[in-house]
Amino acid sequence: MKLHRSYSVEELARCLDVHKNTVRHWQAKGLEPIDKGRPVLFQGASVRSFLASRNSSRKQPCTPGTLYCFRCRSLRAPALGMVDFVPMRPGSGNLRALCECCETIMHRRVREADIAAIMPGCTVQFAQGQPRLSGQTAPSLNCDFKRQG
């Protein structure tokens, strides 16, 4: 595909070996035509950047038991198999863990209902407001439920 050429729907479909409906679907998803004229034409450069952004948004880590470490630039398992869940809004929040290789803090946005599937075999703690990763050695799941009185 040439960046400075413009492509009709048919040409683009042929060039990228996809169905014409796929191109129209891309248009519906935000691929901008050059103008509002007919036939609809797309600039090669905008097609390329559209597809690139689609690919990068698909790059969400999806391997169970891992988070993305920005320092390692790779998916890593949590150190000690320990993960914090930090609720951000009802039903969802951020998983937080230390990279097992470099101990950088890793984050991953999740729905609360997905935690068990995403982090099988890990100890997930529900963080309550403040960071708990530093110096923590044991889970403290029994909070103040049993106050005297």
- Plot region of 102 (φ>0 → left; ψ -120 to 50 → alpha; else → beta): alpha
Strand (E) or helix (H) holding 54: helix 44-58
Cβ contacts of 9 within 8 Å, gap of 6 or more: 20, 23, 24, 39, 40, 42
101 binds Zn ion (CB under 5 A): yes
Site for Zn ion in 102-141 (CB under 5 A): 102, 104
Q: Which of 82, 83, 97, 99 binds Zn ion (CB under 5 A)?
A: 99
The least CB distance from residue 68 to Zn ion, in Å, is 9
The least CB distance from residue 130 to Zn ion, in Å, is 23
Strand (E) or helix (H) holding 88: strand 78-89
79 binds Zn ion (CB under 5 A): no
98 binds Zn ion (CB under 5 A): no
Stretch that binds Zn ion, among 58-66, 70-78, 89-97, 122-130 (CB under 5 A): 70-78
Dihedral of CA atoms 99, 100, 103, 105 in degrees, nearest 10, equals 20
Residues that bind Zn ion in the complex, under the rule CB under 5 A = 69, 71-72, 99, 101-102, 104
